Amino acid sequence: MRKHGCDSEWIREALETYGSSLTRYAHSLVGDLDQARDIVQETFLALCNQDPQSVRGHLAEWLFRVCRNRAMDARRRKGRMYDLTEIPNETEGFESLPSKILEKKEAIEQVEKALEELPAHQQEVLLLKFQHDLSYKEIAKVTGLSVTNVGFLIHRGVAGLRRRLQSDALPLGSQVRRVK
């Protein structure tokens, strides 16, 4: 019979569950793959020093927060900071553009490109939400913003994304009248 509850077990699980997404997150913050990996490695090494009970229930938060802190340190050293609370000038909203019809497949392919055009802080929270599936609360803890702020940023980000996707969309071949 194996003894259970060995420390290495929970670290291993954490690694398997979050290793990849943390690496991607770090990469989105620092841009350099090797540096990102180093940051993530440090994060997990730090985790080894934690008592599992103390992070129980909010492991994701903890990992992302620690990872982010290190990544921000790295950015600071390079002078690439950005302010999360900055409010963009452009008005963003969901104006319907009735003449542009989006083909779903095209939209998906363009998402990457459109994401990159968004301001950095919107990108970050969008990724935390939609790639790493953190809740608003967790994102708030990770980034240090208020939950309301997070909600705003995400909504703005989604709206901005949609506008960018729609302005890129090509009109389509067949003559179609929108019937509504």
Partner 1 sequence: MSYSDDPRLTAYVLGELTAEEREDLEIELAADESARRALAEVRQTIGWLRAGIQARTPIQLRPDQERLILSRAEGGTSWLSARTRWAAGLAAAAALVVVTLLGFWTLTGPEPGRETASQTAVTKPVGGSAPPSDSSGTPGAAEKAQSEAEPRDVKKETSASERGPERASGRRNKSRRAAAGHEDPVQDYGKWLNEDVAYIASPEEKAVFLKLKSDTEREEFVEQFWYRRDPNPATVINEFKAEHYRRIAHANQRFGSVKTMPGWMTDRGRIYIIYGPPLQVESHPYGAYSAGLHTRRSRQTGLPPERANGKAGTAAPRMPPLLANGGTASSFPFEIWRYPELPGLGRNAELEFVDPSMNGEYRLSLDPEDKAAIFTVPRAGLTLAEELGMATPKGRTFFFTPGNRESQPISKPKYAGTPGKPEPFREQSAESNTEAYDRIDDNPFVSVKDHPLSTFSIDVDTASYSNIRSFLDGGALPPKDAVRIEEMVNYFRYDYRPPTGEAPFSVNMEAASAPWQPDHRLVRIGIKAREIDLGSRPPANLVFLIDVSGSMQDELKLPLLQSALRLLVDQLGRSDRVSIVVYAGASGLVLPSTPCNEKQRIAYAVDRLQAGGSTNGAAGIDLAYRVAREHFDPDAINRVILATDGDFNVGVTNQGDLIRMIEERARQGVFLTVLGFGMGNYKDSTLEKLADRGNGNYAYIDTFEEAKKVLVEELGGTLVTVAKDVKIQVEFNPAYVTAYRLIGYENRLLADQDFNDDKKDAGEIGAGLTVTALFELVPRGVPIQIPEVDPLKYQAPRQPTASMNPELLTAKLRYKQPDGDTSRLLQSAVVDRNTPFRSASDDFRFAAAVASFGMLLRDSPHKGNASFADVISTAERSIGPDPGGYRWDFVRLVRRAEVLHTGR
Subset of 53-82 contacting partner 1 (CB under 8 A): 53, 56-60
Nearest to 38 by CA among 50, 26, 25, 20: 26
Give, to the nearest 10 degrees, the angle between helix 7-30 and helix 33-48.
150
Asked if 146 touches partner 1 (CB under 8 A), the answer is no
User: Near partner 1 by CB under 8 A, which window of 68-76, 79-87, 130-138?
Assistant: 130-138
Beta carbon of residue 120, minimum distance to partner 1 (angstroms, whole number): 16
User: Near partner 1 by CB under 8 A, which window of 68-76, 78-86, 101-109?
Assistant: 101-109
Residue 51 near residue 38 (C-beta atoms within 8 A): no
Beta carbon of residue 51, minimum distance to partner 1 (angstroms, whole number): 9
* Cα–Cα distance, 45 to 160 (Å, whole number): 38
Beta carbon of residue 9, minimum distance to partner 1 (angstroms, whole number): 8
Count each helix (H run) and each strand (E run) in the chain, helices first: 8, 0
**In what helix (H) or strand (E) does residue 162 lie, and over which residues does it extend?**
helix 147-168
Among 31, 151, 168, 169, indicate the residue that binds partner 1 (CB under 8 A): 151
Asked if 169 touches partner 1 (CB under 8 A), the answer is no
How many residues are present in the chain? 180
User: Near partner 1 by CB under 8 A, which window of 69-77, 80-88, 109-117?
Assistant: 109-117
Beta carbon of residue 152, minimum distance to partner 1 (angstroms, whole number): 5
Beta carbon of residue 69, minimum distance to partner 1 (angstroms, whole number): 18
Among 30, 66, 125, 126, indicate the residue that binds partner 1 (CB under 8 A): 126
Q: Is 75 exposed, middle or buried (0-12, 13-18, 19+ CB in 10 A)?
A: middle
Asked if 83 touches partner 1 (CB under 8 A), the answer is no
Q: What are the residues whose beta carbons fall under 8 Å from the beta carbon of 153, sequence distance 6 or more?
A: 84, 121, 122, 125, 145
Beta carbon of residue 99, minimum distance to partner 1 (angstroms, whole number): 14
